[in-house]
Amino acid sequence: MDWAGFRREGDRGERGAPGTAHDGAVTTNFAVIGDGRLISAHWWVVALAMALAVLLPRIASQAVLTPHIAILFLAAAVLALSSGLLELSAKLSRAIASYKLVVAIALVMAPMALFGCVMTLWAVSGAVSWSVSLGGVAAVCALATLLQAFRPHMIMMVPVPLWGAVALTEGSTASVLAWAVVLPIAYCASRGQEAFLTERGIYVAAEARREQQALQILADLEQMRQGWFWETDHNGVITYLSHSVADTLRREHGDLIGNPFLSLFDNAVLGTLEAQNLAFYFTARTPFENVTVHARDSNGEMGHQWSLSGRPAYDLLGKFTGFRGSAFDLTSEHKIQEEVSRLARYDWLTGLANRHTMLKTLDKLMTMPNGESRACAIFLIDLDRFKQVNDTMGHPAGDVLLQQVAVRLQKVMATGGKVGRLGGDEFQVILGIADREKLADLASTIMANLSQPYAIDGRRVEIGASVGIAIAPEHGDTSDKLIRNADLALYAAKHDGRGRYRFFAEDLQSLAEERRKLAEDLRLAMHDGGLELHYQPIIETATEKICGFEALLRWNHPEKGLLSPAVFVEVAEDTGLISAIGEWVLRTACEDLALWPEHILVAVNLSTLQFENPQLPMIVTRTLAHAGVRASRLELEITESVFLSDDERMDAMFAALKRIGVRLSLDDFGTGHFSLAHLKKAPFNRIKIDQSFLKEAMQRGSRNGAIISAITNLAESLGMETTAEGVETREELEQVRLHGCSHVQGFVYDGVLTLAEATLRLGTVVKAVDQDQYARRPARHSTFRKVTLHRDGHVFNGTIRNISATGALVQGLWNVPAGAQFEVRLSDDLVVSATCRWAEDGLVGLAFTVPLARDRDGNLVRSDLAIQQPPKRGNIRAAV
């Protein structure tokens, strides 16, 4: 590689011969500092000086040279001119290096000695004066000494033989003594010169090494592509360019040399101010640093970005020779900066706008000067059951699900609205409309789309979505207020049972405060023992004997009384108390079980989070050992939601629990994600049939009875027991027996009992509640009709389980306070006012403000309109 452009001016950069300073070695013996010769290349000038020293006196004084003097002179001149013979010896091997030294001494000492003899004999003969003779000797001595100045040991070879010949030829004692004095002086001068030149040689060698290292570093930088280097002539034409530039631009290196340097860069970018300055620097011959330039490759692709630096170069005479400099590739750094900038505005996983960008968008809408333009709305969307997918299938699967959700949201909002992801499974949509009806339709569309099945790693995954809606400026005149109120609406939607949307209402503030207070109270309850376990008996259908109890968690709230888990389980999950509560329930149930007879078992519900905990087998084993009860007396109830993750971890958990010896029960069978194929590998001891199957089986024309029979037959063939849940009447009990259920659980035998009541119940005879006890109430008609309930501008969906003239039992409403007023739309023509009397586990008992009555066609109508109102189609029939 040619680095001539980067050498110091005045240094040819040539490598010296072995043993020289340029070879990096310190001079020793007859090694010299200089061009590596033992005799100066200009030694022939000494012969010329000898000739002048003889010819000038000969011409000036007509001095005659005798033949023998002339012969000696010619011999001295010939030897002086023969220094080129030593160059031939330089080509010889080092094995005869001593011969080189002998020849060098001969070619210096011999002519000097002969010339000294010539000039002395000439003066002794009287042809020339001594002053002329000695002057010639001195002149030749000075010139020869100068030529050998950088050769310390060779310096002595000039004056010693020259003046020695003069002294010995003249023959006087004074001359010999003078020459004897000259000898040590010449030797000392030679040693001093040698010491000086050696020190200088060390310095020069060090400088040469540093320069060589610098050149090597530059070469390494090029090879590692940490930068590239360039040089131009005085016209700005490229004379040197690193090969990496050609590789980057996908062009031949030879094609770039000889082109104008500025032609490397993109013409469009050269129009920028910074790039225009580059042309000015070249014109003004001014140094520059870190000028950013862009280039296109041979395919015309843009994207190469460099930081360019350079300075003008001048020769030894100060003449401008061009520019030279370096450059560094900024392409990767620029891409990283762009990516950092993008990540500051967009979500890294889904590509949607992030929280910061969504807030800026909303701020812009909210601060528009036109009031109508500020009318907008935001949706806060939270995915239902996403955590189960994330926990059971792993975070990579959760990420894929979030990406698919983002795609669906963008498709729904393709015609308008900005979609963003705030974090986790929470999304936001900003809309430029404020029409409630349109917003409600759009929210329904979003929930319907997001609730469709997803395919992840070959598995079918189902989730849902809840939506909170806030409208500006009605629900907030700033971004913060609007977002906060949309969050409150989202919480209310999830609180209503998920899979719903809610508009913000002022009373949601109180709900949020109630939630915060509930969380504080729950922490205190955990610490102060406010949680209790109640029990509901499990009855053998054939013998009507208690075989066990289901443990039911209750919170004895100091102000609200006994609260069902449905009221506080979400708070427990959000505050991180759910795991501790689950372990407490398991531990307490086993301790209570130890108080009962050996044939009694206890069933404990496991949450999906508990089932997915790898430490669950150890926790169960430790709890059983602490309570001192057999593992077969503990039954763990598992909901169908655990089968969202049909993987090896689920199978391993089932196997580990069965090794312990506990019983396993499948709760709420038929309401979730369970497939009959799971029965082949899930080692259940019991299947619990959800009460919805039984309620529908009581209706005319229902096929649920056949389904219940099929379930019981299948369970029996697999060696499993079946329990019918929620049996409330003797009529339902007869259906359960008819369809072959082995066990019953419900209010027809007992409700929820305390530990003391349950213990006492074991000593009594169990009987189904006599049907006559229901006679005091108005006749109730079972139905599973969907109805809508309206309260404070909000619409709730529910299902009527049974209805009478004075009230109804509605399923699907959670945390309804006693005394809450509703308008219940029983049909298109019948809307009644009702008051909540009680609420528990999603069930609400409503009392009608105006009792219902039958019209002449048997339809239920308001009693105050029973006479006036003619019969119409669509009312709820008494036969229902």
Which tens digit of pLDDT belongs to each residue from 560-575? Answer: 888 888 888 878 887 8
pLDDT surpassing 70 at residue 375: yes
pLDDT at position 765 is 75
- pTM of the model as a whole: 0.50
Give me the residues paired with residue 832 across strands.
Answer: 824
Same domain, 145 and 247: no
How far is 880 from 878, CA to CA, in rounded Å? 5
Which tens digit of pLDDT belongs to each residue from 724-741? Answer: 998 888 888 888 888 889
Please indicate whether residue 519 or residue 157 has the higher confidence score (pLDDT): 519
pLDDT surpassing 90 at residue 665: yes
Instruction: Report if residue 873 sits inside a domain.
Output: no
Instruction: Report if residue 202 sits inside a domain.
Output: yes
Same domain, 246 and 132: no
Which pLDDT band holds residue 2 (cuts at 50, 70, 90)? very low
Q: Lowest mean pLDDT: which of 1-10, 192-201, 416-425, 634-643?
A: 1-10
Tokens of 789: 């309930």
Range of the domain at 303: 226-335
pLDDT surpassing 80 at residue 658: yes
How far is 615 from 415, CA to CA, in rounded Å? 49
Torsion of CA 483, 484, 485, 487, to 10 degrees: 90
pLDDT surpassing 80 at residue 119: yes
Question: Phi first, then psi: what are they for 632, rounded to 5°?
Answer: -70, -10
pLDDT surpassing 70 at residue 580: yes
Instruction: Report if residue 219 sits inside a domain.
Output: no
Instruction: Report if residue 449 sits inside a domain.
Output: yes
Over residues 216-235, the mean pLDDT reads: 78
Q: Lowest mean pLDDT: which of 363-367, 653-657, 810-814?
A: 810-814
Which pLDDT band holds residue 59 (cuts at 50, 70, 90)? confident
Over residues 36-43, the mean pLDDT reads: 73
pLDDT surpassing 50 at residue 348: yes
pLDDT surpassing 80 at residue 624: yes
Over residues 693-721, the mean pLDDT reads: 81
Q: Lowest mean pLDDT: which of 287-291, 296-300, 445-449?
A: 296-300
pLDDT surpassing 90 at residue 593: yes
Same domain, 193 and 250: no
Same domain, 834 and 739: no
Over residues 841-864, the mean pLDDT reads: 72
Task: Give the type of residue at 556.
Answer: N
Q: What is the mean pLDDT of the chain?
A: 80
pLDDT surpassing 80 at residue 645: no
How far is 149 from 151, CA to CA, in rounded Å? 5
pLDDT at position 99 is 63
Same domain, 480 and 629: no
Overall number of domains in the chain: 5
Task: Give the containing element (helix H, strand E) for 546.
Answer: strand 546-557
How far is 480 from 485, CA to CA, in rounded Å? 9
pLDDT surpassing 60 at residue 690: yes
Where is the domain boundary, 445, 477, 505?
505
Contact in structure between 600 and 547 (CB atoms under 8 Å): yes
Please indicate whether residue 815 or residue 298 has the higher confidence score (pLDDT): 815
pLDDT at position 111 is 87
Q: Whose CA is closest to 736, among 747, 749, 722?
A: 722
The domain that contains 301 carries what CATH number?
Answer: 3.30.450.20
Which of 169-183, 225-239, 252-266, 420-434 holds the top average pLDDT? Answer: 420-434
The domain that contains 795 carries what CATH number?
Answer: 2.40.10.220
Torsion of CA 829, 835, 840, 842, to 10 degrees: 30
Inter-CA distances, 811 with 783, 841, 846, Å: 11, 9, 11
Q: How far is CA 591 from the centre of its chain?
A: 48
Same domain, 377 and 304: no
pLDDT at position 37 is 67
pLDDT at position 486 is 94
Task: Give the type of residue at 368.
Answer: M
Over residues 794-819, the mean pLDDT reads: 81
pLDDT surpassing 50 at residue 14: no
Residues 6+ apart with CB under 8 A from 80: 43, 44, 46, 47, 50, 107, 111
How many residues are listed for the chain in this entry?
880
pLDDT at position 783 is 57
Over residues 78-87, the mean pLDDT reads: 70
Question: Phi first, then psi: what are they for 43, rounded to 5°?
Answer: -65, -25
Residues 6+ apart with CB under 8 A from 435: none
Q: Whose CA is closest to 156, among 120, 123, 113, 210?
A: 113
Where is the domain boundary, 764, 792, 815?
764
Residues 6+ apart with CB under 8 A from 158: 108, 112, 141, 144, 145, 148
pLDDT surpassing 70 at residue 13: no
Which pLDDT band holds residue 302 (cuts at 50, 70, 90)? low
pLDDT surpassing 50 at residue 818: yes
Which pLDDT band holds residue 370 (cuts at 50, 70, 90)? low
Give me the residues paired with residue 465 across strands.
Answer: 383
Same domain, 607 and 733: yes
Q: Lowest mean pLDDT: which of 133-142, 516-525, 807-816?
A: 807-816
pLDDT surpassing 60 at residue 34: no
Which of 496-500, 598-602, 703-707, 808-812 holds the top average pLDDT? Answer: 598-602
pLDDT at position 784 is 55
Which pLDDT band holds residue 144 (cuts at 50, 70, 90)? confident
Q: Give the start-end residues of each E strand in 432-480.
A: 454-456, 459-461, 464-472
Same domain, 810 and 782: yes
Same domain, 478 and 545: no
Instruction: Report if residue 172 sits inside a domain.
Output: yes
Pair type for strands 634-639 and 601-606: parallel
Which pLDDT band holds residue 371 (cuts at 50, 70, 90)? low
**CB count in 10 Å sphere of residue 103:** 19
pLDDT surpassing 70 at residue 354: yes
Which tens digit of pLDDT belongs to each residue from 461-504? Answer: 889 999 999 999 899 889 999 999 999 999 888 877 778 999 99
pLDDT surpassing 50 at residue 871: no
pLDDT surpassing 80 at residue 224: no
The domain that contains 393 carries what CATH number?
Answer: 3.30.70.270
The fraction of the chain above a pLDDT of 90, given in percent, is: 27
The fraction of the chain above a pLDDT of 70, given in percent, is: 81
Over residues 120-131, the mean pLDDT reads: 84
pLDDT at position 510 is 77
Task: Give the type of residue at 195.
Answer: A
pLDDT surpassing 50 at residue 715: yes
Same domain, 716 and 793: no
Same domain, 119 and 194: yes
pLDDT at position 675 is 59
Q: Whose CA is closest to 662, among 757, 554, 759, 548?
A: 548
pLDDT surpassing 50 at residue 288: yes
Which pLDDT band holds residue 267 (cuts at 50, 70, 90)? low
pLDDT at position 56 is 84
Which pLDDT band holds residue 86 (cuts at 50, 70, 90)? low
Where is the domain boundary, 285, 305, 335?
335
Over residues 523-540, the mean pLDDT reads: 92
Instruction: Report if residue 438 sits inside a domain.
Output: yes
Tokens of 387: 């955590």
Instruction: Report if residue 511 sits inside a domain.
Output: no
Instruction: Report if residue 212 sits inside a domain.
Output: no
On the CB side of 668, how many CA atoms lie within 13 Å of its CA?
A: 10
User: By CB neighbour count within 10 A (0-12 exposed, 13-18 middle, 19+ buried), where does 89 fall?
Assistant: middle
Pair type for strands 228-232 and 238-241: antiparallel
Question: Phi first, then psi: what are they for 465, rounded to 5°?
Answer: -150, 145
Please indicate whether residue 416 or residue 878 has the higher confidence score (pLDDT): 416
pLDDT at position 301 is 60
Inter-CA distances, 818 with 439, 453, 792, 822, Å: 31, 38, 16, 11
Please indicate whether residue 640 or residue 434 has the higher confidence score (pLDDT): 434
pLDDT at position 101 is 67
Same domain, 464 and 522: no
